[in-house]
Amino acid sequence: MGIGTDTWVDDAADDGIFKVNTEVFRDPEIFALERQRIFDRSWLYVGHESEVESPGDFVCRSVGGHPVIMVRGKDESVRVLYNTCLHQGNQVCRVPSGHTSAFQCFFHGWTYDVDGKLVGLPGESSYGGRFTRQEHGLRAPRVASHRGFVFMCCDPGTESLADYLGAAAAYLDLVADQAEDMVVLPGSHRYTTHANWKMATMNAHDGYHVATTHATYLKYLRDSGVDPSQRRLGKRLDLGNGHSASEFFGAWGRPVARWAAYWPEALQEQLATKRAELTATFGEDRARLMAEVDRNLLLFPNLVINDHSAVLIRTWEPQSVDEIVVTAWTIAPRQEAEEIRALRLRNYLTFFGPAGFATPDDIEALECVQRGLRNQAMQWLDVSKGAATEASAPEQDDNADEIQLRAIWRRWRLDMGGSLLTAGSR
């Protein structure tokens, strides 16, 4: 590692300067530090409780580099267990999801119940008197959930999930409150991208790239009778702790009057009924927010929830300094009209899907950046758009400004142990 933490992020926003050292996108030693200082300390998204509805239902995930099992226990609570046998470290579960009464390690046959207790092992009597089953239950990280969204944390010293989420929790509520029973729909998208994880984090709601990177989608909207230039600007919000949100009025996401052409006539009545229900439950202001405003939520370090053309839950698991595995799901009301569900899924696939309008273009950009940054002559990457006016207008109303990206980098720098570079020290 040729540089110290002080030279990783140059934050002089008052002077309109915000730069990130490109070493942090290509140095494997910095990546190893990120594993310890960010992924092993943060609350990371594991899954949604609806994915494991009954006792014995489970999904296997890799979270921050840790293979885990999210499982509904016999007492109905959702647990996250390390997928590692206490005998010799083998993974006790090797299928992505299912239903079981026990996890049996295929290596030597140790068997654990769905609560992680060791309930059987061949030849137990030869272990001697000091061996206890209690000491050999599956280990677990800290686990907490907010409105059905399950997170884990490997560090006992990290604040509670509620404190970690802070103001961002309200944005999870805006998804959870859309129906009495929100469920992750079966199936997921999963793909590898040859890019540094932080570029994916920045891309999660970078407004500046949309007009150019996603020109094909904007043309599609125009061809569908929707004028994307009518897209109204919204807000970019630094929610604290590295989390951020953007709120905007998209040309596709909400069945409001000006985009009526995009929404089938036959659905208008059902949508009006739903809007009336939201108003009755949450009041006019919150119902308007839920029904008319699109939003992207970025939870540091690697979860995005985009609520517009459908609700996307996406996380990206770093494999190395230049590779991530992305997994994406969609969440929807358990009960909804067949035509609305079909439209929701079509929107999800055509925009967020791995062969949709957005994702292939974004992947191409992320991978091209990773290759471009091999040129070490390019020492600084610029994230200063809108920095000069950040202090006077913290809720930036230009979609293309980058306050939400600077929020990511400030948290990153703090976690990594770096300090602020001042203008005078450059």
Binding site for Fe ion (CB under 5 A): 362
Q: Closer to Fe ion by CB, 42 or 296: give it.
A: 296
Tokens of 206: 């970078």
Kindly report the backbone phi and psi dihedral angles of residue 220, in degrees, each rounded to the nearest multiple of 5, phi listed first.
-60, -40
- Quote the CA–CA distance of 161 and 169 in Å, as a whole number: 10
| Minimum gap (Å) between residue 305 Cβ and Fe ion | 15
Q: Closer to Fe ion by CB, 119 or 211: give it.
A: 211
- Quote the CA–CA distance of 308 and 127 in Å, as a whole number: 57
CB neighbours of 173 closer than 8 A, spacing ≥ 6?
Answer: 147
Contact 166, 102 (CB under 8 A): no
Q: Closer to Fe ion by CB, 165 or 304: give it.
A: 304
CB neighbours of 224 closer than 8 A, spacing ≥ 6?
Answer: 261, 262
| Minimum gap (Å) between residue 80 Cβ and Fe ion | 31
Q: Which residue from 280, 238, 230, 220 is spatially nearest to 256, judged by alpha carbons?
A: 230
Q: Closer to Fe ion by CB, 241 or 306: give it.
A: 306
Q: Closer to Fe ion by CB, 17 or 299: give it.
A: 299
- Quote the CA–CA distance of 297 and 169 in Å, as a whole number: 10
| Minimum gap (Å) between residue 296 Cβ and Fe ion | 10
| Minimum gap (Å) between residue 78 Cβ and Fe ion | 32
- Quote the CA–CA distance of 61 and 52 in Å, as a whole number: 13
Residue closest to Fe ion, measured at CB: 362
| Minimum gap (Å) between residue 209 Cβ and Fe ion | 6
Contact 316, 326 (CB under 8 A): yes
- Quote the CA–CA distance of 49 and 276 in Å, as a whole number: 28
CB neighbours of 140 closer than 8 A, spacing ≥ 6?
Answer: 79, 80, 81, 82, 116
| Minimum gap (Å) between residue 358 Cβ and Fe ion | 5
Q: Closer to Fe ion by CB, 34 or 362: give it.
A: 362
Q: Closer to Fe ion by CB, 238 or 362: give it.
A: 362
| Minimum gap (Å) between residue 359 Cβ and Fe ion | 8
